Structure 1
Amino acid sequence: MDTENIAKHLRLLWRTDRVIADIRLRHLLVGLGLRAFAALIAVFGLLMLELAAYLALVQITSAVVAAASLGACNFVIAAILLAVAARAPSGRELELASEIHSSSMDALQLEARSLQSQISSVINHPLNRLIPLLIVPFMTFIIKTLRSHGPTEGDTASSSTSDARAT
């Protein structure tokens, strides 16, 4: 586990999320702008068309039939405009950003699993990491102490001669 890799993946994840959000926001703004413009055109255009159509239909049929047919045409036009505005965003930018986002998430999950395994090994066996740190210096100290205080070959011979003189 490397904190540098985690930070790099988090930065990459943040940037791709920003790119994805920016693409979606631009798409929503364009859709909203199209809807507003379509509504404006629809209001003025339909008022004029309806007035002309109503005046023409009133001469041919009754006023009720003329108003009903114009209302049905208005619903059809509104449905077509809403269908155009509601289409899904398509583009390579969004696909690329989504791929980078998913690969960054996979890398972060891998780093998290590595961190989890390291933490669980320390939690399950907390002395495993301390034993080499404690035993190696302790054993070195014991070996040095035994070497410095232990009898040498010359010490053994002189002690045996002094024991022989005393008897």
Structure 2
Amino acid sequence: MDSLVRTMRIIWRAELLIIEAKLNVATKRIGSMAFAGLIFVFGLGMLNVAGFFALEEGWGPVYAALGVAVADFLIATLLVVWGSRLSTGPELDLAREVRDAGLLELEAKAEHIQDEVDAVREELLTLKKGLLAFSRNPLDGTINALLTPILTLLIKSLTKGKG
């Protein structure tokens, strides 16, 4: 029973490691997305103003504004793509392997327990049949129970007398 509890604790810890790894990645993703948004807002404001003034003389006001906007959207897209590609790592795979091994061991122990329960069930059914037979005809059961030891003693005494 101790090994069953130990196996269940291992599975529980592996599940906690899996959840922790997923939460770490989710936290990093959310953080990178929020940071990307913050950079986008502040950088967009300052870069747009500077870029617009720099490009306005050569491109005119309309094309200067368009050039600055395209550059802003490109930077934001790159940050979103980078944040979405973050993944867990080898620790998640290891935690899954430990969990799966624990589940396999737990299944094997459950099958062993099921076999033991089946064996006890068979013994109880045999005992029940014996009790039913005894209750139907108690004299036969008593005679068999008494006759076997008496015959054994008789046979032993006869063989000792010959030797």
Q: TM-score, normalised by structure 2?
A: 0.69
Listed one character per residue, the Cα deviations across residues 17-73 of structure 1 (whole Å, up to 9, x for unaligned) are 001111111121122222222322222122111111111222112322222222221
Q: Bigger radius of gyration, 1 or 2?
A: 1
Q: Do residues 80 (structure 1) and 74 (structure 2) align?
A: no
Deviations 1:6-25 (A, max 9, x none): 32222111111001111111
CA distance in 1, matches of 2:79, 2:6: 44
Unaligned runs of 5+ in 2: 135-139, 155-163
CA root-mean-square deviation: 3.4
Aligned-residue identity in percent: 29
Question: Counterpart in 2 of 1:111?
Answer: 109
Give the aligned partner of residue 145 of structure 1.
146
Partner of 2:161: none
Unaligned residue ranges in structure 1 (runs of 5+): 154-167
Higher helix residue share: 2
Distance 1:44 1:147 in 2: 101
- Tell me how far apart the structure 1 counterparts of residues 141 and 8 of structure 2 sit (CA, whole Å): 45
What are the superposed Cα offsets for residues 82-126 of structure 1, whole Å, 9 maximum, x if unpaired?
Answer: 11111232433222212101111222232334445556x47xxx5
Letter in 2 for 1:100: V
In structure 2, the residue matched to 1:20 is 18
Question: 2:31 matched to which residue of 1?
Answer: 33
Q: Is the 8 A contact 2:32 2:83 kept in 1?
A: yes
**Corresponding residue SS for 2:4:** helix
Distance 1:113 1:62, change over 3 A: farther
Aligned to 2:54: 56
Tell me whether 64-73 or 50-59 shows the greater mean CA deviation: 64-73
Query: Aligned equivalents of 2:106 and 2:150: distance in 1?
Result: 56
Greater than 4 Å deviation, 4+ residue runs: 115-119, 132-136, 138-141, 147-150
